[in-house]
Structure 1
Amino acid sequence: MKQNDKKLFVLDTNVLLHEPLAIYSFKEHDVIVPMTVLEELDTIKDRKRDVSRDARVAIRALEDILGGSITPEQIVSGVPLPVRPGRTDASGTLSIFPDHQLEFDSHSLPDDNNDNRIINSAYYLQQQYQPRQVVLVTKDINMRLKAKGAGIERVEDYRTDQLIDDIRFLAKGFYEVEGDFWQHVDDVTSERQGRHTVHQVPREHFGNEPFYINQYLIDQDTEFCGRISAKSESSIDIVDRGRDRLENYEAWGVKPKNVYQGMALDALLDPDIELVILTGPAGCGKTLLAMAAALELVVERKRYDKVIVTRNTPEIAESIGFLPGTEEEKMAPWLAAITDTLEVLHKNDVNPTGSVNYIMEKANIQFKSINFMRGRSIQNSVVILDECQNLTASQIKTLITRMGEGSKLICSGNLAQIDSTYLTAVTSGLTYIVERFKDFEGSANVYLNGVVRSRLAEFAEEHL
């Protein structure tokens, strides 16, 4: 590739906070980090938040490349990126741009904040390196608008970890056939496998639909419901579940109120599925089903030893150290949805409060902070990760990699209720794992369509 064909990517601070190793994501093109970005990373690295860890990782990644015997002249002109496992296509250079030494002209933005300095740097580089294409990369929407207004020709969002462009295309975990399922199928081979009937159906009947392992199939007119157990280029194997059977499942006294809850409960109670992802609007039953299935599996079926419930604590009060008591007592305010669910499950008991306390002890229910999950290995447990739409992909990866032998992870969340200022529905860790795990034979994903909490909640979800 000729030098003029290689682009110059100028990175904003938020790109390195979002993905600390983003410098390896631009293939054969060159990467420039303005000095102002280093100064911002330096102020962030000591904060008592998760973002400070990302800042430190980014700083160490830069030091690994630019440290040692590298001269100041080489740092400014560009140092070749080293070969890194999994990033072998990164063959450009990395350089630090000394923007604090520049004197900008009257056409530049006021030099009164860091965003403006980075924009001015990108504009200066655009003028210096013509005809090479200079691209400013930032996740700040307002900064992208300002940069375009300041005359920078190419401004982009950092999207390498964004698997879909529109949340409407997110896998829902089921495929709904119009009309009668059997009217679409004229060539099927069925056989009995243990307690289940398996249908082998040609894929040509469903067009170009990209089916996934453990994806459910339902229709509109009949009681058909199946789950894909295997697939090939020409056919798919469907385990016949039967809508009646799904809607009559029961876990800890809870029965599904619709076929979507039935599919969720089918996946939750299946010991061969180690990861269940439940998405859907507020009031669709995600937490209730997860908790009921966990109690059923631990107390009644004795397949697991305990239930661990965790979620992130919002950044506005991320540290739980200011609350009194033990770790579990500190986590109680954040996990009130779980205790509310336990009260609902036992509201008809003679002594509901005593029943809840007894079950928490019997099922060995533990409330844990996600901040302390790193380094653990969780064995023979049902782990419920609630409200995970507020987690990044790396945070969810941290928890998933904690799962040891004989453990089941249940992730639930609503992409319409993201509280983090750094995430959107398409960049949420919940979206990321739905897309990454949709074809993994040990996972299932179900979008719980429909609000069952109350007609008030249903109206609010549809009209507010």
Structure 2
Amino acid sequence: MGKANDNDNKMYVLDTNVLLHDPLAFLSFQEHDVVIPMTVLEELDHIKDGKRDVSRDARVAIRALDEVLKDASPEQMLEGVRLPSHKRVDGKPSKVGQLIVVNDHLYPDSISGLPGNENDHRIINCAVRMQKQHTSTKVVLVTKDINMRLKAKGAGLSYVEDYRTDQLIDDIKLLSTGFKRFQGDFWASVGDCQTEQNGRDTYHHVPKSLLPDVFCNEYLVDDTEHFAARVTGYDEEHITIKDLGVERLLHQMAWGVKPKNVYQGMALDALLDPNIELVVLTGPAGCGKTLLALASALEMIIEKRIYDKVIVTRNTPEIAESIGFLPGTEEEKMAPWLAAITDTLEVLHKNDESPATSRNYIMEKANIQFKSVNFMRGRSIQNAVVILDESQNLTASQLKTIITRCGEGTKLICTGNLAQIDSNYLTPLTSGLTYIVERFKDFEGSATINLNGVVRSRLASFAEENL
């Protein structure tokens, strides 16, 4: 087989799970050809009639494919139909590839050596056939199934890839933490700068060359354990930072909760600021994400009267689909999945004379509502604090649904631990939580705080390191 260079045209054979992950994935391969085996269309057909989110994605994929192929004859579908493109190079439409539908049922199993009674094997068989037929073209099987990638290589397919077009980072270690730590003394590297006072707050204008890749609401700390600041704006020459100070961060309080270290202090500062509409808290279990989120919500609703209610939601099993058919209200069905919230309320009121009575009273006074993600579509949530717990198990599409429901005056708090993904369809790199951290870091109304540096209980820390 002739070897194809990276600059040569390529042919991508798509697996079904790629179209379920991104229904418009076949439009993402620029000038290269895209092959859809007939087995993929059959699998989409079997999935489309369900009521789960994955069924909706199957229907979207089918409609998108039909839009491209609706005017094509059977011969044209087999030869290839030009893919649509809105990109232009030097004022002219850019080169695009073709969409090809292949009847892989006509290919004998002997091509790959895999038995043809499994759909995965038929798709691999199709890719191997394309590789043998198009020797001067780099034929690539694209699938999110790791085991299928291994089987494809074992069957003789030279190029197998994961679908990475929607991955904003290549390594989860590159995910934004929401703060930067400077070695030594921050002010020693700044020199002279312009300072202004606005009420109780002090702002400094430092050179942009000091922080070339900064973004709004990113926190700054150094090794002196005294300096702490938050970026409030920037232009091509200067960055405006709000001087906070570690001591000031540690002396904040929300519903009786004080931060234990500067990481929780930064999180609490972002949570209590009504001008920050989206706060994302990431980190391991036990670092205080839910506790800080709920304490801040109660403080802003009951004490400061900024918001009217708290809406708490999280994904339920089956990728945020069914919450059960047993008798009971929506809140009663959601209660087991939101036990972390009720546990946190008990911690916040454990020293009261009657903790259970206090918890019920606060739930009523703060108007805490437990809602399912299923029923978020079509709503418009006004002047509320929305706490989305365990958001690492949601897709970018599901998170988009929730974020677009947040109306005027609503604050959204997303918490999650990317090391504890329960969904079969997501990884730390494709999780919706990772997506919004990277997509919203340049949005001036959002802040992300990674609480990995928080000291947890000795038991939890030991388990994390040794089990």
TM tier, smaller = over 0.9
- Residue 368 of structure 1 corresponds to which residue in structure 2? 371
C-alpha displacement at 1:307, in angstroms? Answer: 0.6
C-alpha displacement at 1:449, in angstroms? Answer: 3.0
- Residue 262 of structure 1 corresponds to which residue in structure 2? 265
Q: Decide which of 72, 78, 81 is 2:80's aligned counterpart.
A: 78
Worse overlay, 91-100 or 289-298: 91-100
* Deviation per residue, 1:258-316 (Å, 9 max, x gap): 11111001000101100000001110000000000111111111111111001111228
Conservation of the 8 A alpha-carbon contact between 1:173 and 1:444: yes
- Residue 292 of structure 1 corresponds to which residue in structure 2? 295
Q: Decide which of 238, 246, 253 is 1:243's aligned counterpart.
A: 246
C-alpha displacement at 1:187, in angstroms? Answer: 2.6
Structure-2 separation of matches of 1:202 and 1:107 = 61
Label 1:76 to 1:106 Cα distance change in 2 as closer, same or farther (>3 A): closer
C-alpha displacement at 1:194, in angstroms? Answer: 2.8
Structure-1 separation of matches of 2:313 and 2:284 = 20
Letter in 2 for 1:377: S
Q: Decide which of 187, 190, 193 is 1:185's aligned counterpart.
A: 190
- Residue 194 of structure 1 corresponds to which residue in structure 2? 199
Q: Secondary structure at the match of 2:296?
A: helix
Structure-2 separation of matches of 1:85 and 1:346 = 58
- Residue 156 of structure 2 corresponds to which residue in structure 1? 151
Letter in 2 for 1:244: E
* Deviation per residue, 1:69-96 (Å, 9 max, x gap): 432111111122235699x968322121
Structure-1 separation of matches of 2:112 and 2:231 = 61
- Residue 436 of structure 1 corresponds to which residue in structure 2? 439
After superposition, where does 1:40-189 map in structure 2 within 5 Å?
Answer: 40-67=43-70, 69-83=71-85, 91-105=96-110, 107-189=112-194
Q: Decide which of 217, 231, 236 is 1:228's aligned counterpart.
A: 231
2:381 pairs with 1:378: yes
Conservation of the 8 A alpha-carbon contact between 1:25 and 1:90: no
Q: Secondary structure at the match of 2:29?
A: coil
- Residue 4 of structure 2 corresponds to which residue in structure 1? none
Q: Secondary structure at the match of 1:303?
A: coil
Q: Which structure 1 segments of 5+ residues have no match?
A: none
Worse overlay, 413-422 or 54-63: 54-63
Q: Decide which of 327, 331, 352 is 1:328's aligned counterpart.
A: 331
Conservation of the 8 A alpha-carbon contact between 1:281 and 1:450: no
- Residue 220 of structure 2 corresponds to which residue in structure 1? 217
* Deviation per residue, 1:316-358 (Å, 9 max, x gap): 8941123430111110010000010111111111111111111
C-alpha displacement at 1:145, in angstroms? Answer: 1.5
Q: Secondary structure at the match of 1:263?
A: helix
Q: CA RMSD in A?
A: 1.9
Structure-2 separation of matches of 1:111 and 1:223 = 66
The TM-score, its normalising length taken from structure 1, stands at: 0.94
The TM-score, its normalising length taken from structure 2, stands at: 0.94
Q: Secondary structure at the match of 2:350?
A: coil
Q: Which structure 2 segments of 5+ residues have no match?
A: 1-6
Conservation of the 8 A alpha-carbon contact between 1:10 and 1:122: yes
After superposition, where does 1:385-396 map in structure 2 within 5 Å?
Answer: 385-396=388-399
Label 1:110 to 1:390 Cα distance change in 2 as closer, same or farther (>3 A): same
C-alpha displacement at 1:463, in angstroms? Answer: 2.7
